Structure 1
């Protein structure tokens, strides 16, 4: 090695996290004797020398946890980030927050900066695309990292994944629409080829297959603008559609507006179900039926999992799926007898 070895080099050689090496250097009793020996052996092999005075200068950063979100403009992700930050603060940890705006290059940049500033762990709701730079840097740094809400890399043994039960949610929503008498149900929004779209459609597809009915997917970036434009498109191109399951609530709320614009009565002419159950679903008229993911509770659970990983070495399972429920409102009640 043609440079001075770092704590990250030691962690990589010993096969542990940077936080574990720090605990060994602090003579913490939390580290098992076998792990302590592995770390000290790696230090000796690399010629690592602990600079205690420099470490003391870095102490202010040891309680930092990085939170990287793909789209903070979406209230779903905003609520998640808020709940994580509040849960971490309650335990004395500071949260460093970054929005990547669905840009994998920006994601790599902000994650690299967080690693340089010594975050103890990372929580990523990742952007899709060329994510190798992001996750390669994390792997080199050996920082505990969770993927949440979206899975960008399949290596969940190294980067555990936590997500609400999207499949059950879409199944509940579709079964409900079928029970109201709907027979031509469309799925609105979601980009093709993305795992999160496939997950949110899977229960819908299974329910329709069980009923012997064909699916109809209108893909697109699930925004309010997309949902509003879809109202006119459905009326013109697919007048037989009598119900819609939306990829998320933004598309659903946009569809509500679009139906009002063209004079189509929601609940009678078209039944609509959203996904996520953001706060606004209960505030609009008609109220938007939605699959509740309890995103605030989900965020608190993720924070507790990461803190357990840091404080006790309890590694999360490779994949965690949390329960969902369907919240019924006026948008999907169907025509009044």
Structure 2
């Protein structure tokens, strides 16, 4: 990305001194109105952004990283954010973290505010929806930006994308259930047609078709409430379904709760695999099988990639996906799983 315009660039463009530009930025009454307008026109022409924290950061050993997350209520994203933040801190960088709550308008607002406050880089797990104008704003400000876990902007030559191999994870989960003798396997959770849903479903779909089995989908918000609702519905209306690959652990944990209400034993009466392997999977009963994404390691890897870009100029690849693995526990293996 190009070099960010400086106060000196604005001064040269406007034909004034650096101190005059500084006075304009401070809204000083000492500057004539005509001069102020000339400076403001130059700032707009150069896409200059006033760095509110520049004075505090100049000469300091730390910089500020903007970490923007689509849903910090979800333990998966919380673990990622904590790991990335701690990695930045270990190298002397401060992190400002924002939760957009899946709202693209809030995302745009947060990006603009962080640019004004002088972040050195962005790591963004984006909210879906809206358009890419917020990313256009980042491009004009020439701030290194890494998209993680979700891809919103297709311009990976400008905004590299790092994620996990969700397709392989879905395939592992489906193959695991097939090997256990299941045939009527559903995919549960995830909003329909969302890229992240399609990614996690893709491996499941491929395995089901390769085994000449019919894929079945139950789309919905990836929450415990939806998982519980589907568990109750399957027992009442779809008794032929004997297993499920879930979009996320939250959905799978909700299904465990629903099954417990009506006396269905996961791992015996119904086999279940979650996705993400959050900490609660190994603590629930029965313990939940899940596709482990090792979110903590991914957060560290993403932060280290950004630091290499900032410090050494080593840009991350346009797209990189990290491996996942299946952790089989009682919810799919049944009583034979004793760990």
Per the TM superposition, whether the score is higher than 0.5 is yes
The alpha-carbon distance between structure 1 residues 66 and 212, as it changes in their structure 2 partners (threshold 3 A), is same
1:71-96 residue CA offsets vs partner (Å, 9 max, x unmatched): 00000000000000000000000000
Aligned to 1:79: 79
Deviations 1:143-172 (A, max 9, x none): 000110001111111110000100111111
The change in CA–CA distance for 1:126 and 1:285 in structure 2 (over 3 A counts) is same
1:49 CA drift (Å): 6.3
Mean CA deviation greater in 179-188 or 230-239: 230-239
Q: 1:99 and 2:85 equivalent?
A: no
Instruction: Supply the distance in 1 between the matched residues of 2:335 and 2:207 (Cα, whole angstroms).
Output: 22
* Change in CA separation of 1:107 and 1:61 when aligned onto 2, cut-off 3 Å: farther
- The TM-score with structure 1 as length reference comes to 0.85
Match of residue 268 from structure 1: 268
State how far apart, in whole Å, the 1-side matches of 2:17 and 2:326 are.
57
Query: Which is greater in Rg?
Result: 2
* Aligned match of 1:5: none
Q: Which residue of 1 aligns with 2:32?
A: none
Q: After TM superposition, list the pairs within 5 Å mapping 1:160-309 onto structure 2.
A: 160-309=160-309
Distance in 2 (CA, whole Å) between partners of 1:140 and 1:84 is 25
The secondary structure found in structure 2 opposite 1:300 is helix
Mapped to 2, the partners of 1:223 and 1:96 lie a distance apart of 27
C-alpha separation in 2, matches of 1:249 and 1:231? 14
Tell me the residue number matched to 2:2.
16
Aligned partners of 1:317, 1:47: CA distance in 2, in Å?
40
Q: CA deviation at 1:245?
A: 0.3
Quote the Cα distance in structure 1 between the aligned partners of 2:181 and 2:172.
Answer: 15
Is there any run of 5+ residues in structure 1 with no aligned partner, and where? 1-14, 26-39
Question: Equivalent residue for 1:145?
Answer: 145
State how far apart, in whole Å, the 2-side matches of 1:195 and 1:50 are. 47
Say if 1:259 and 1:265, in contact at 8 Å, map to a contact too.
Answer: yes
Work out the CA distance in 1 between the residues paired with 2:311 and 2:296: 23
Q: Residues 314 and 264 (structure 1 numbering): CA distance in 2 closer, same or farther, change over 3 Å?
A: same
Change (3 A) 1:16 1:322: same
CA contact (8 A) 1:67 1:96 kept: yes
Match of 1:325 in 2: 325
**Could you tell me whether the CA contact under 8 Å between 1:64 and 1:118 is conserved in 2?**
yes
Match of 1:232, SS state, is helix
Offset from partner CA, 1:306-331 (integer Å, 9 cap, x none): 01110011111000100100001000
CA distance in 2, matches of 1:183, 1:48: 75
In structure 2, list runs of 5 or more residues that go unmatched.
23-50
Residues 11, 18 of structure 2: 8 Å contact kept: no
Pick which of 145-154 and 326-335 moved more.
Answer: 326-335
State the Cα RMSD in Å: 2.3
In 2: Cα distance, 1:41 partner to 1:266 partner: 65
SS at match of 1:118: coil
Q: Structure 2: how far apart are the matches of 1:157 and 1:213?
A: 39
Aligned residue pairs, count? 304
Give the superposition deviation at 1:44: 5.9
C-alpha change, 1:141 and 1:286, in structure 2 (3 Å) is: same
Q: Displaced runs of 4+ in structure 1, greater than 3 A?
A: 40-58
